[in-house]
A and B are shown apart, each in its own frame.
Chain A
Amino acid sequence: MNFSEAPLRIDCSEELGMLTDAATSYLRDNSSVERARELAETETGFDSEQWQALAEMGWLGLATPEEFGGSGLGYPELAKVTELMGRYLFSSPFFATTLASQALIASNNEDAKMQWLPEISSGAAIATLALMEPHNSWEIGDVRATAEATATGFKLTGEKQFVIDGQNAHLVIASALFNGNPALFLLDADHLGQIEQRAESLTHHARRSTRFTLDGLELPKSAKLADGADAQKILGHVSSLAWLLLAADSAGTANGAIDLTAEYTRVRKQFGKYIGSYQAISHPLVESAILVEDTLSLVYHAASIFDGSLKGESEIAARMAKTRSEEAVNLAGARAIQSHGGMGFTWECHAHLYFKRGQWNSLSFGDAIHQRRHLADLML
């Protein structure tokens, strides 16, 4: 395969144009940095009225088929909303819920879809995935938790970590080995009532996630979302969508950091000159912008061709976007702090909010080192 000459495309629907305008004005008006800071201090980390507003705008089922109460749009639209959420530091369980609904959509389990997707789209149910475990592996399907068949269903054992918005969720879709292969289980409010979730303390303090043990949890037969090849397919689908969306969020976050930095360097003077006139300040900002532009091109290409499959162009494109987004947001975030001098080191300065959000995005679902290794195996 000659990757230098592979045909490439970027699609942009009319709906995407309208959505961009609507999302920009909603997020600009409703997610000021001050609001993001307030939410970061709350227990849930989000505003339930805003959550309802997202439902009304159709964002909670943006890429969910209309028959399940969704808006029936595509991945470029999801990426755009996510990018803008990053730009305005919007906090909510949107990412977790979107991934969980995509897990349902990618499954063949019609009962589960009928039960959950309309509730998610309407804002009634917040959902998330429990894939990560304390053994610190980003490999898809590297699961140690297990599910054993019982007379009435399954009995689970194992540990889960980084369950995004676990404390807010009405539905958790957890992975566990069943007959030696990864399977996925639906944990509803009843089941969640039986386990004790510990809120994790994160560097990115605006995020919410939990750690818990599954030991002893008993589930009915109907709780199995998928196993075998079906579960593999779902895991590939949600993982690659996560790369894509995290890359989009990071591109937006990096843009927020660039704007913040540019603004400060236009007003702060040292040695009688605006600091933005010093190239040691301005040139790295230009480099950040270049990396963000790279990321955006990769994101919207990946979104245009996304099909959730592994081993092909869809996987390559999403991993590429994720890789470049880490470089973009890391540089933009770090330059935001550094370019503010002593002020940048304070909690009060907004710079660290962008830096931390970017770092969280980079670490979730595989960092650039991990992605490049996989890309090398796929491409070389």
Chain B
Amino acid sequence: MPKAESAELQQFRSEVANWLQENRPPLPDFPLPQSFTEVGNNDQFEYLRDWQQKVYEAGYLGMAWPAEYGGGGKPQEYQDIVNQEMVKARTPLMVNAVGLSWAGPTILTHGTEEQKKKYIRPILSAEEIWCQGFSEPDHGSDLGNVQTKAVKDESTDEYVLNGRKIWTTLGEQAKHMILLARTNPDAPNKYAGLSFFLAPMNVDGVEVLPIKKITHEYGFNETVFTNARIQADSLMGKEGEGWFIAMTVLTFERGVTGGQAGGNLMEIKNVNDVYEVAKGLFRDGRPALDDPSLRSQLIDLFITERAHRLHNKRMDHAPLLVPERAAGMGLFNKLVMSEDRHKLAEFAVRMQGNAAALYADDTDAVAGGLWQHARLAAFAGSIGGGTTEVQRNIIAERVLGLPKSR
């Protein structure tokens, strides 16, 4: 039988729900991003940063992180409840996503006492925004091949950075970057030459150049390092441990393991949202939902959504898992979630008929053009954080035991 929630947790749940209702910020007069990767201007950023700060101050973020670094020191169940209630209440998202979900847990795992003391609290309070400097113009999926150089200057106890990182989400707002750079070009293999840095962004020689996205918005950047000098203690772990630490980051980023601070990182639209829109639509002079083909497609979306909502519940029960795949179930998350978003948005656009041609800023657009935007934004999920193709490679190799594709 499913574990019933204790009276204490139930009480907590209703406290959270009430707090969210009473404290959620009023809707702004500009559109809010649906994901942290879509923060395109300062108004959006400040609105979301203030909200995260408020949530943290209320004690609802990082609840399961150690209290000595600014966390709540409580069991994970509490944060899970907050996360669920946030999704349910559809409160605005947590903007410091890179800090909360990958830099933070990685620092807690591999960082020194000093690093934890210095970085964790401002991550939670959104005072210090983080970005991720992994991808480069020439090396994305092949992350192990990145070439940005970090050369130690023993005389000043600094590292000197040269190279280019790209697709840096929140790069303009960020105070720090988790940076993967090459300290030893002569290492025995491409991985062994990499090191991991907690690098400051506001130093000379770091230039952040915004890039316009297919959605017509900004939100990611190219970060150029030209003789940028950072203190030697920005290094996390030892020289040569960069790849190992980067892999930890990716398991957090892809939701393979828990340990993230919590909060909602994107506004999750569900199939029922699309259904509600569909009910008001006409195609070819008839209600869209009279069309057997659309009905059938919508049902498939409901089935997929339900299956994926159920996975977490089934994961609690070993006898209901396929033994050979049980350990690797977490590796499916990223792939499945990003592909689900594609399918949902694609249907939501297709069902509109010709009206689907109107984009988000047209006053006649169905549902404010939200789905036209979502249809494009869905690619952020299937490209960012490791592409769908790369995720399939990983599952093929690690879960199904197939030979390496490279």
Binding site for B on A (CB under 8 A): 2-5, 8-13, 16-17, 19-21, 76, 80, 255, 258-259, 262, 265-266, 273-274, 276-279, 281-283, 285-287, 289-290, 292-298, 300-301, 320, 323-324, 369, 372-373, 375-376, 379-380
Determine whether the beta carbon of A282 is less than 8 Å from that of B313: no
A-B contact pairs, 16 of them (CB 8 A): A10-B313, A10-B320, A11-B1, A262-B400, A279-B396, A282-B392, A282-B396, A285-B402, A296-B322, A297-B308, A297-B310, A298-B303, A301-B310, A320-B303, A373-B296, A376-B298
Given that A10-B310, A12-B319 are known contacts, is A376 also in contact with B272, CB under 8 Å in the complex?
no
Q: Are B405 and A282 in touch, CB under 8 angstroms? A: yes
B301 nearest in chain A by CB position: A4
- Are A262 and B402 interface neighbours, CB within 8 A? yes
The contact of A289 among B270, B296, B395, B405, by CB within 8 Å, is B395
- Which B372-406 residues have C-beta < 8 A from chain A? 389, 392-393, 395-396, 399-405
Give the docked Cα–Cα distance between A255 and B325 (Å): 10
Q: Complex Cα distance A291/B332, Å? A: 11
Q: How many residues of B contact A (CB 8 A)?
A: 52
Checking B307, B319, B332, B393 against A17 with a beta-carbon cut-off of 8 angstroms, the contacting residue is B319
Closest to B87 in A: A5
Question: Separation in Å of the A28 CB from the closest CB of chain B?
Answer: 11
Contacts of A294 in B (CB 8 A): 303-304, 307-308
Is B110 close to A, CB under 8 A? no
Residue of B nearest to A303 (CB): B320
Q: In the complex, what distance in Å separates the CA atom of A285 from the CA atom of B311?
A: 19
**Contact (Cβ within 8 A) A262 B401:** yes
| Complex-state Cα separation, A165 to B259, whole angstroms | 53
Given contacts A10-B310, A16-B319, contact A4 B305 (CB under 8 A): yes
Q: Assuming A11-B1, A301-B310, A376-B296, is B404 touching A3 (CB within 8 A)?
A: no
Q: For B292, what are the chain A residues with a Cβ–Cβ distance below 8 Å?
A: 373, 376
Q: Does B214 contact A (CB under 8 A)?
A: no
Residues of A within 8 A of B308 (CB): 294, 297
Pick from A2, A277, A278, A372: contact of B296, CB under 8 Å: A372
Contact A298 B307 (CB under 8 A): yes
Cβ-based interface call for B318 (8 A): yes
Asked if A274 contacts B303 (CB within 8 A), the reply is: no
Check B314 against A300 for contact (C-beta < 8 Å). Answer: yes
**Residue with the greatest number of chain A CB neighbours at <10 A, chosen from B88, B302, B335:** B302
Q: Are A8 and B336 in contact (CB under 8 A)?
A: no
- CB of B336 within 8 A of CB of A290, answer yes
Residues of B contacting A258 with CB < 8 Å? 400
Task: Give the residues in chain A near B273, CB-CB below 8 Å.
Answer: 4
CA distance A8 to B404 in the complex (A): 38
Given A282-B405, A286-B400, output 12 extra A-B contacts at Cβ < 8 Å.
A3-B302, A4-B273, A10-B314, A11-B1, A262-B401, A276-B396, A282-B400, A294-B308, A300-B320, A324-B303, A369-B296, A380-B275
Say yes or no: B299 contacts A376, CB within 8 Å: yes
Among residues of A, the one whose C-beta sits closest to the C-beta of B402 is A276
B308 to chain A, nearest CB (A): 7
Residue-wise, chain B 289-331 has the 8 Å CB interface mask toward A (1 for contact) of: 1001001101110111111111101101111111011000100
Taken together as a complex, chains A and B put the C-alpha atoms of A223 and B308 apart, in Å, by: 46
Q: Is B366 an interface residue (CB 8 A)?
A: no
CB proximity of B323 to chain A, nearest CB, Å: 8
B318 CB, min distance to chain A CBs, angstroms: 7
Instruction: Tell me the complex Cα distance, A125–B1, Å.
Output: 34
Q: Contacts A3-B271, A289-B325 given: A323-B311 contact, CB under 8 Å?
A: no
Distance in Å from the Cβ of B53 to the closest Cβ of chain A? 29
In the bound complex, how far is the Cα of B325 from the Cα of A17, in angstroms? 17
Q: Which of A5, A277, A380 contacts B298 (CB 8 A)?
A: A380
Shortest B338–chain A CB gap in Å is: 12
CA distance A12 to B317 in the complex (A): 6
Q: Is the CB of A4 within 8 A of B272?
A: yes
Q: Report B-chain residues with C-beta under 8 Å of the C-beta of A286.
A: 392, 395-396, 399-400
Give A29 to B295 CA distance when docked, in angstroms: 45
- Answer whether residue B75 sits at the interface, using C-beta atoms and an 8 A cutoff: no
